[in-house]
Every structure is written in C-alpha cells, then in structure tokens.
Amino acid sequence: MATELRRYLQTKIRQWTLARQRRAPSHTLTQNRIFILPTKAGCAWLLLLLMLLVMAINYENNLIYAVTFLLLGVFLTAIFHTYANLAGIEVKALPSRPCFAGRQAEFELELQRHSTRCFEQLHLRLESSEETQVVDLLNDRQRVRLYCPAPRRGWLSPGGVKLETCYPLGLFRAWSWLNLEIKTLVYPELLVTPLPSSLQEPSAKGCDRMSTRSGDDDFAGLERFQAGMSPRQVDWKSYARGRGLHAKHFAGHQDPDLWLDLDAMGGEALERRLSRLAAWVEALSVREVRFGLRLGSFSLAPAMGESHRSRSLAALALYGLEDRE
C-alpha cells in the first residue's frame, strides 16, 4: 500500500517535472528541479529522536534533551548537504551511437561542475531503465554511459534522466528529473541468415545483379581482359584472331555491384525482412563489398565503407517510420 502510494507519487512528480522543462541538450540542476524528501532511514531517525525525547522528558534528563536536539540539528544539516550534493551540476547530452534492436542502447552524458566542490555518490538512471550508474564527480567533467533496452527499430528516446543522491548520511534522498535531448537510432534487430549464395550466386532472391534483369545478350562492346574476369566473358573469337585477350562487355556487367532489395525477399513479415537485410549489410560491410540498397521507392547507390553502412542501416531502421518521427 505504502509502496504503491510512493510509486504513484514518484510517477506524478516525474511527469510533472519533465513536462515543465523544455527539452534541451544540457541542463543545470537548480532549486527548480531538485526534490528532496527523507528516506526510510530518515523517518527512522525521526522516530529515534522521538524516543529520545520521551526518554529525556520522562527521566527529566537535560543531557538527553541536548543529544536529541543535536541529532535534530544533524538531520536538518543533512538536508542542506544532500541538496548541495546535486545543486549546480550541469548535465550535457553527448551524441549517442546507434545500436541494434534487442540490445542495450548506450547514451553518453557529460557531468560538469562549476565549482571545486565534490559531488559524491550520484546515482544516474534513465526513465525507461531500472539500471543505475553510480558516479563520483571529483573532476570538472566526467562522462557517464547509461544503458537502456532498445526493443524496436527506429528512434529511441529513453525519456528523462534521473539524478539521485542520498549522500552524506542516507537520511535524505535528493533527486531531479532532467528532460534532456537524447535519442538514438535503433537499427533493426540482426537476423543472421547466410548471404544468399553470396557473391558467387548473385541471382539468388533478393540479392540481384542488374544483369539478370537486363539480360546477358545486351552486347555493349569489348574491353581488355583483366585478371579476375570470368572466363565466360572472354571473346575467344577475337583472341583466336590474334587481337589479344578481350572480354565481351555486356550491358548487365557495366555495374557489377550487389543490390539488396526489400521487395525481392518474398512474403516474409516486414520486420523479419528488414532484420535479415540489416544482418546482410553488416556481413557485407565486414567483407568490404560494394552494395546498393533498395527499399521500395528509396534506394541507395552502391558504395562501401562505414558511412555507407550507417546510412543503409539508418534507412532500414527508419523504413516506414519516417512520418512518425
């Protein structure tokens, strides 16, 4: 009952504070944002004081009165210390790295202090995660990585960031919710299937050569044979004529790149197809093979390299979701 009530109140406070803030890449913790309430230990402390007070009154013992008041003073002092352990910290969102769905998304924050005070035992947590990170801010800047599960592809916003501390006595909990502008791109979940008969069998489904559709017959001319060309392309006739080794150049072979095409992947569910494509993009990128990507009306020209990979994966991640973002 009590825990339910507490949870309900916490949720309300969180929603209320997050709604009051504008989304910004960095926030400084000020009194508008910091909440502070006694912990269970703090309530027990008050109970202890009450017992001491009763003892002081009953035994008419002035020294026990003094201890009671001293501990009450400590209790009040702890409010300030706990509050000061959060106040003034600037939290900045750093650019985040994309991740694959089903894994943990990583968000990097930078905590910055503007005085030489030490901020100790800060617990950081994302709204959509239960996991906390404990940080001691002893230098001017410190980076923290927070993780939260990324269940689906698309843009992932982990909600607010919570900073919490019970330092130095554990009698009070000060916390703050920050509406930080953090989001990360979640790529489709990787569904590893063998590359469609890989590069040797380019005519497998979904992995298409231009030539299969434009035909082998489109003879476009001859070019000098170079190592690595298929022997089938050799123009044996002209070789026999003593003109040297030439390869027949067909129109289909002008662009020898792979095309990954969503529509050519059969009737599987869209997400499965996207996942499979994502796995292929990964595999091809590792092998450093040029490939192009075609998703319905959207297409990426064949290329290779890191930026091509991330553009392809981003396209897969956002396919069909753009209008929602």
Partner 1 sequence: MKGGLISRTAVGWQLLVVLLSVLPHMEWLPLWVPALVVSTAGARLMIHSGRWSFPHWSVKTALVIAACMGLILSFNQTAGPETMVALLVVGQALKLLEIYHRRDALVVLFVTLFVTATTFLFNETVWMAAYVFLVVTLVLAAMNSIQQSDHNNLYADHLRNAVRLLFPAIPFMLVLFFLFPRLEPFWSVTLDTGQAQTGLSDELSPGDVSKLAQSSALAFRASFSGPVPPPEQRYWRMLVLSEFDGRRWTRPALQVRRQLRTEKLYPLVEGQNYEVIMEASGRPWLPALDQPMKAEAGFFMTPVRTLRASQAVDRRLQYRLQSVPLYRLQPLLTAQEEQRYLQLPARGNSDSRELARQLVADSGGDTSRVIRQLMELFNREFIYTLEPGRLGRDSVDQFLFEAKQGYCEHFASATVFVLRSAGIPARVVTGYQGGEWNPYEGYLQVRQYDAHAWVEYWTPGSGWQRLDPTAAVAPERIRSSAQEYFRAYENRFAGAVSRLGAGWLRDLAQRYDAFNYAWHRWVLNYEGQQADLLRDWLGGGEQWRQVLAWIVPSAMVFGGLAWYLMRPRRASPRDPLERVLQRLQQRLSVLGNERLPAESLSMWLRRSADDWPRQKGMLLKLALLDDRLRYAEQADPEQRGEMIHLSRQLLRELPRGKRHES
- List residues near partner 1 by CB under 8 A: 39-41, 44-45, 48, 51-52, 54-55, 57-74, 76-78, 80-81, 84, 87-88, 114-117, 120-121, 134, 136, 141, 166-170
Q: Which is nearer to partner 1, 24 or 44 (CB)?
A: 44
Q: Which is nearer to partner 1, 70 or 192 (CB)?
A: 70
Q: Is 23 helix (H, G, I), strand (E, B) or coil?
A: coil
Residue 27 C-alpha from the chain's centroid: 20
Rounded CA gap, 272 and 258, in Å? 20
Q: Which residues fall within 8 angstroms of residue 235, CB to CB, at 6 or more apart?
A: 222, 246, 247, 248
Q: Which is nearer to partner 1, 135 or 277 (CB)?
A: 135
Residue 217 C-alpha from the chain's centroid: 49
What is the closest distance, in whole angstroms, from the C-beta atom of residue 172 to partner 1 in the complex?
11
What is the closest distance, in whole angstroms, from the C-beta atom of residue 183 to partner 1 in the complex?
25
Rounded CA gap, 154 and 324, in Å? 10
Q: Would you say 163 and 30 are in contact if contact means Cβ atoms under 8 Å apart? A: no
Q: Which is nearer to partner 1, 67 or 303 (CB)?
A: 67
What is the closest distance, in whole angstroms, from the C-beta atom of residue 168 to partner 1 in the complex?
5
Q: At what angle do helices 62-84 and 40-58 cross, to 10 degrees?
A: 160
Task: Kindly list the distances between the CA atom of residue 113 and the CA atoms of 22, 92, 124, 166, 185, in Å, as whole numbers in the listed order.
Answer: 21, 11, 15, 19, 29
What is the closest distance, in whole angstroms, from the C-beta atom of residue 156 to partner 1 in the complex?
29
Q: Would you say 102 and 189 are in contact if contact means Cβ atoms under 8 Å apart? A: yes
Residues across the chain? 325
Q: Which is nearer to partner 1, 95 or 267 (CB)?
A: 95
Q: Which is nearer to partner 1, 86 or 315 (CB)?
A: 86
Q: Which is nearer to partner 1, 15 or 61 (CB)?
A: 61
What is the closest distance, in whole angstroms, from the C-beta atom of residue 91 to partner 1 in the complex?
17
What is the closest distance, in whole angstroms, from the C-beta atom of residue 114 to partner 1 in the complex?
7
How close are the terminal C-alpha atoms of the chain, in Å?
39
What is the closest distance, in whole angstroms, from the C-beta atom of residue 277 to partner 1 in the complex?
39
Task: Kindly list the distances between the CA atom of residue 282 and the CA atoms of 32, 145, 258, in Å, as whole numbers in the listed order.
Answer: 46, 25, 14
